[in-house]
Amino acid sequence: MLSREENELLTRVTGDAAMARLMRQHWTPVALIEEVAEPDGKPLRVEALGDSYVLFRNSDGKLGMLDERCPHRKASLVYGRNEDCGLRCLYHGWKFDIEGKVQAMPSEPQGSPLKDKVRARAYPTLEWGGFVWAWLGEADAVPEFDPPAFAPRNDIPIAILKIRVPANWAQIHEGQIDSAHSSSLHSSDMVPAKVEGAAADEKSWYRPSTDKSPRMQTQTTSYGFHYAAIRKPIRNARTHDYLRVTEFVAPYYSLIPPNNNYNVASVIVPINDEESYFHFIAWGDRKTPTTDEWRAFNRAVPGTDLDAKWRPLRTLENDFWQDRQKMAEGNFTGIDGIPNQDIAMWVSMGGRVDRSTDILGASDLAIVEFRRLMADAARRVAEGGPAIGTEEPRVRQASIASAEGVYPKDVDWRTLSRTASRQAAE
């Protein structure tokens, strides 16, 4: 349960809201590289934290990101012509380069000084790990980019699915750090098996446990927090525990425990107070699926499961294509695809949930930690303090790793992610 005031701090993510100001002090993953792959290709509308921008790749292959609205009379530049190293507004033909400088102003008399006075605001961008990252904060305070834990190298194999979810960012994060729900919501896709640790094939994920009520332990870190879900394993339950350690790296992503083939992460970027981009990621040097395989496995294929703008075709209005017959035959949810099951829950809660009346249990410990941590972090920004994750000394994000496995009961889970991160660094 949160007070109304804390719920506002946690969930308001546009304009001058403290959480929006906090997020703007981090590099923000605003688009997939595949959306702007072509030089002189179609400009992309980027929406983040309540604002909209235009992202385009110029004739030289360089990215530019400007405010969406033309400085002249505010027509959208998304419909502009992207050619000859600049983006030209359709309305009166003003043309801008990737730095926002005016290249042409055909509606003004020749020699007009206006051309040199006007400048569109341009936002720094870079490409890393399948994403275009943008700096949406103060123009004179651009920090060095620290590679995220899910892409420690720029050439790491990575598969990303993207879905535009009509729900507030915090609802989605709470789903990502809620280990208990997987034993119910995903029970038909994450099945108990006599495996050594979490395993994956092209049909299902396997877990070495049937325990539906994990014990939870959390620990605050400098970058966010981590927690362990501790379950009884199928084998050696008297002497061993099945541990799943999840990392939350504020404000944008979580590292979900890996399986035998790949690591898993999720990245959530608010579009506005009631919509977010959810990205679900498989990555690593072992057996990461291709992007097409990953989207097919998760039923998040554009054209089949999503429209051309990443909106799910399964909606509240069509009951997420829930199949009651399949449920009668044993499928737990009647909804195909692990993320689609999550989305049905997040969206059904309402666009921005009121947390002042929910009833929390012991398995919600990580949710409580997330809310407390981020509401406090937003309050600190509102009071003029630093944003979480920006204070020195910083942990390099590439050294953060989630972990899982069956371990003797005397193993401290807090040491596991350190071991895993050592392996990742090797």
Which residues form the interface with ligand FES (CB under 6 A)? 70, 72-73, 75, 89, 91-92, 94
To the nearest whole angstrom, how small is the minimum distance from the Cβ of residue 342 to Fe ion? 4
**Residue closer to Fe ion, measured from CB, 25 or 263:** 263
Q: Which does 72 bind (CB under 5 to 8 A by kind): Fe ion, ligand FES, none?
A: ligand FES
- Give the C-alpha separation, 6 to 4, whole Å: 5
CA distance 36 to 136: 19
Distance of closest approach, residue 71 Cβ to ligand FES, in angstroms: 8
Give 42 or 422: the residue with its C-beta nearer to ligand FES: 42
Task: Tell me how far apart the alpha carbons of residues 190 and 339 are, in angstroms, rounded to a whole number.
Answer: 12
Write the single-letter amino acid at 304.
T
Residue 89 binds which entry of Fe ion, ligand FES, none, with Cβ cut-offs from 5 to 8 Å by kind? ligand FES
Nearest distance in Å: CB 108, ligand FES: 10
Q: Which of 368, 375, 371, 421 is nearest to 399 (CA)?
A: 421
91 touches, from Fe ion, ligand FES, none (C-beta below 5 to 8 Å by class): ligand FES
Min CB(31)–ligand FES separation in Å: 22
**Shortest Å distance, C-beta 213 to ligand FES:** 59
Query: Which of 342/404 has CB closer to Fe ion?
Result: 342
- Residue with Cβ nearer ligand FES (73 or 422): 73
Task: Indicate which of Fe ion, ligand FES, none lies near residue 395 (CB less than 5 to 8 Å, by partner kind).
Answer: none
If one asks whether residue 47 binds Fe ion (CB under 5 A), the answer comes out as no
Compute the least distance from the CB of residue 54 to ligand FES, in Å. 12
Q: What are phi and psi of 297, to 5 degrees?
A: -60, -40
| Cα separation, 230 vs 35, whole angstroms | 40
Q: Which residues, 6 or more positions from 193, have their beta carbon under 8 angstroms from its beta carbon?
A: 199, 206, 207, 208, 234
User: How many residues at the interface with Fe ion, by CB under 5 A?
Assistant: 1
Minimum distance from CB of 120 to ligand FES (Å)? 10
> CA-CA distance, 179 to 365, in Å (whole number)?
10
Give me 308's structure tokens.
């051309």
Closer to ligand FES by Cβ: residue 107 or 213: 107
Residue 158 near which of ligand FES, Fe ion, none (CB within 5-8 Å, type-dependent): none
266: Cβ contacts below 8 Å, ≥ 6 apart: 172, 176, 253, 254, 256, 278, 279, 280, 281
Q: If contact means CB under 5 to 8 A according to the sort of partner, which of ligand FES, Fe ion, none does residue 342 touch?
A: Fe ion
Report the residue closest to Fe ion, judged by CB.
Answer: 342
Place of tokens 């992503």: 253
Cβ-based nearer residue to ligand FES, 113 or 330: 113
With contacts defined by CB under 5 A, name the span among 149-157, 213-221, 226-234, 342-350 that binds Fe ion: 342-350
Q: Least CB distance from residue 155 to ligand FES, whole Å?
A: 39
92 binds, among Fe ion, ligand FES, none (CB under 5 to 8 A by kind): ligand FES
Q: Which is nearer to ligand FES, 94 or 297 (CB)?
A: 94
The least distance separating ligand FES from the CB of residue 10, rounded to whole angstroms, comes to: 38
Q: Which residues of 106-127 are buried (b: 16+ CB within 10 A; e: fewer)?
A: eebeeeeeeeeebebebbebee
How many angstroms separate the CA atoms of 369 and 224, rounded? Answer: 10
Nearer residue to ligand FES within complex by CB, 21 or 81: 81
Tell which one of 342, 352, 371, 401 touches Fe ion (CB under 5 A): 342
Stretch that binds Fe ion, among 4-12, 17-25, 269-277, 341-349 (CB under 5 A): 341-349
CB 331, min distance to Fe ion, A: 16
Residues at the site binding Fe ion, with contacts judged by CB under 5 A: 342
